[in-house]
Homo-oligomer: A and B are copies of this chain.
Amino acid sequence: MNPLSPNAQAAPNRSPALADLAGPAPISIADREATQQARLQQVGQRPGTLNIRPGALKPRLFLMSYDDGTFTEEEYTDRYDALLAYLHQHPELKHWIDVRGYGDLPLIERMMQDFGLHPLQMEDVLNDYQRAKIDVFDDHRLFMVSRMTDFTANLEIDDDQLSIFTGPNYVLSFQDDYDDCLDTLRARIRSNFSTLRRHPVLYLAYALTDVVLDHYYPTMAAIGDYIEELEEAIFAERRPRRLLNRILRIKKDVVRFRRLVYPERDKIAEILRLPEETMPETLKIFYRDAYDHAIQTLDLAESYRDNISSLTDLYMSDQGNRMNEVMKVLTIISTIFIPLSFVVGLYGMNFQRDDGHGHYLPLNMPELYSPWGYPTVILIMGLVVATQLYYFYRKGWLTNR
């Protein structure tokens, strides 16, 4: 087993949605995460002040060094000096310094010093909620932020930040978690025949961006699956609880996803406008491809947004249909039995044929004294019911719509 990929078995295609529709997951549409992020922000601090978020993981350091023919890979956690030394010994190789976890301020500050990183950008790295963006330095070095997405079992889009600094022969990447979505890329580097190892180190920065972009598809697919389940749930006999909540929750996710990807697209567009000396034309061809991907992802997100808005319409209309159905039951029962009740009430009246003084009153309810009175009334009531049922059948009220 490869000790460098802590949990390579993360399954990107699982559908967390299915589980949720059955289970009692708390579904909230409020943007809890955004609110918390807003609260963490420290007011009035000097810009460029580095704050380590409480609970940040201890940094693990990984190094991949390669060129066309060579490849070494090692974990340097707690051995930063050894890492530096190795870098100095091998200026001819391309290096990917892969830092996961921020929970060690002195180390972070040493790295800023050693790699010449600007405090404002380091603040962006640690702040951990930054839109995708690119900053270009005077010496053509780049600082790029990407956002890696995942769709959790709670129907939330979990997004982590991947921050990349490029140097002449290295790429320095920071992220918050130990797990990420870059293992396929690591495998490609390890492969002997990878064209990636032949390209300049800037291509590695591109490949990182591209892998992140590729990971948007499984997120989208999971959302798409969930939308289908929701549609079925609307028409199911027994709806899951808080169905509209779920629909609005997924809408929120799609909107959030769009807001994640738009800056990504803009970032790539900005890269395409960089001058030749910063970003050579041979690499721009690849970014053009990535740009098309970003656009297609946004297209998909738009599709989903339309779908969800249709779901809301369906839900509302179905709510109306259910009300309609309830009303129809009430109306059919009432319409049939209320007149009948009147009829039987009519012949329950106590009008007397004798006024108590011996006078015969022949007009008071002679029906009650007719030999065929009762059967006739029963027959009439039967006819009324039959007529009504026929009327309701014609209206289509007896069948379900």
Contact = CB atoms under 8 A, between A and B. Distances in A.
Given A312-B313, A330-B330, A347-B349, 19 more contacts: A43-B184, A43-B215, A46-B195, A46-B196, A47-B210, A47-B289, A319-B321, A322-B324, A323-B323, A329-B335, A330-B334, A334-B338, A344-B345, A349-B374, A353-B356, A354-B369, A355-B370, A359-B371, A361-B373
A227 B31 contact: yes
A244 interface: yes
Q: Which 7 A-B pairs have the closest CB atoms?
A: A44-B184, A35-B224, A344-B345, A347-B349, A41-B217, A248-B310, A355-B369
A329 B196 CA distance: 69
Nearest to A325: B395
A327 interface: yes
Interface in A332-383: 333-335, 337-342, 344-356, 359, 361, 363-365, 367-375, 377
A121 to B, nearest CB: 9
A38 interface: yes
Given A312-B313, A329-B335, A349-B374, A304 B185 contact: no
Contacts of A303: 31, 34, 255-256, 259
B259 A299 contact: yes
B396 A252 contact: no
B337 A351 contact: no
8 contacts: A30-B231, A244-B313, A244-B314, A245-B314, A319-B320, A337-B342, A341-B342, A363-B372
Contacts of A354: 369
Contacts of A115: none
A211 interface: yes
A307 interface: yes
Given A217-B43, A259-B299, A330 B331 contact: yes
A120 interface: yes
Contact of A371 (B224, B314, B363): B363
Interface in A35-81: 35-36, 38-39, 41-48
Given A334-B338, A349-B344, A369-B356, A214 B43 contact: yes
A93 interface: no
Given A329-B331, A340-B342, A310 B217 contact: no
A220 interface: yes
Interface stretch (A83-91, A127-135, A152-160, A168-176): A127-135
A118 B289 CA distance: 12
A26 to B, nearest CB: 11
A390 interface: no
A327 B129 CA distance: 48
A380 to B, nearest CB: 13
Interface stretch (A106-114, A235-243, A269-277): A235-243
A285 interface: yes
Contacts of A100: none
A181 B340 CA distance: 66
A248 to B, nearest CB: 4
A310 B133 CA distance: 29
A188 interface: yes
A200 interface: no
A279 interface: no
Contacts of A92: none
Contacts of A39: 13, 217-218, 221
